[in-house]
Structure 1
């Protein structure tokens, strides 16, 4: 890629940064991951070689950033090597602690009661997003509603959980754009 094309792509990225980052955020499900990928895209554009042509600069920049985010996700979620597995075998499992089990059961029961008090669509959106890991666009398509509606309902569901589950740590630290599939 020549310097002229690299410069024009960087100028395009500056001009459309907010829109591109917003689209990337919907793809990766995290504002922070999207911002990191956009920054890395900027750096890679500066270091590009010659020889490529770009017909759709926005699509090119978005795909480049999405690929960077995917690569980073995969790198952050590398499987364990044999030595690490051997070390983990000797770690004491605290999950079987009776107090933790009772607390977890209590949290699940409280969550179940809160979910039952939500409207059916809001509950379905929350479960699809947080339990099944579906993207907002997939949920919208499945429920035949707009992505905006899914986002509003998800935000309302999470706020409802925070309000009605003040002693449940997971509900209090929930984010609107939490871990989702890429």
Structure 2
């Protein structure tokens, strides 16, 4: 009887794989971690000795997966990885940006790169020396042999151009 119950639980886990993976991915903040936890749930279920009396098998599986996810988070926290609290008491890594934020940042960087390419060469050079190399206006003026006032005009022109491109 117990093996039949285990087999039915394993079939139920497989039937609800996508739902469980989505549930865990929302809580963990990572589809990859969620898939690992579902795999661990399957392995734990196969290795259980005697199964307890289960009123709601689906709920039992989801609770088991949530507990495995919490165990994994606690273990990684002990190993020095940082986690931020998430809704429903679960956690996700701070250093793992979500895909949407990563895509947005990449698009903004691409837009900024195109905007810099549109600048006249001297204006772009002054802007890059100031914003990316951290040089002061006076140092740039001395380095390029132009007035400090011209450096300020180039920086202002480049800032305005980049702002307009990023806003569009």
TM-score with structure 1 setting the length: 0.47
Structure with more contact order per residue of length (Cα contacts < 8 Å, sep ≥ 6)? 1
Q: CA deviation at 1:45?
A: 0.8
Q: CA deviation at 1:54?
A: 1.5
Check 1:29–1:61 CA distance in 2 against 1; reply closer, same or farther (3 A cut): same
Within a 5 Å distance, the mapping from 1:94-113 to structure 2 comes to none
- In the alignment, structure 1 residue 28 sits paired with structure 2 residue 33: no
1:91-125 C-alpha deviation (Å, 9 max, x unpaired) = xxxxxxxxxxxxxxxxxxxxxxxxxxxxxxxxxxx
Q: 1:5 corresponds to which residue?
A: 5
Q: 1:61 corresponds to which residue?
A: 61
Note the aligned Cα RMSD (angstroms): 2.9
TM-score with structure 2 setting the length: 0.50
Whole-angstrom distance in 1 between the partners of 2:28 and 2:66: 7
1:67-86 C-alpha deviation (Å, 9 max, x unpaired) = 11111111112167xxxxxx
1:128-148 C-alpha deviation (Å, 9 max, x unpaired) = xxxx7645x8xxxxxxxxxxx
Within a 5 Å distance, the mapping from 1:16-55 to structure 2 comes to 16-55=16-55
Q: 1:160 corresponds to which residue?
A: 104
User: Structure 2 unaligned runs (5+)?
Assistant: 89-97, 113-168
Aligned partner of residue 105 in structure 2, secondary structure: helix
Cα contact 1:27–1:66 (8 A) shared by 2: no
User: Structure 1 unaligned runs (5+)?
Assistant: 81-131, 138-153, 168-182
Higher-Rg structure is 2
Q: 1:76 corresponds to which residue?
A: 76
Aligned residues: 100
1:54-74 C-alpha deviation (Å, 9 max, x unpaired) = 122221111111111111111
Cα contact 1:2–1:49 (8 A) shared by 2: no
After the TM superposition, which parts of structure 1 deviate over 6 Å for at least 4 consecutive aligned residues? Answer: none
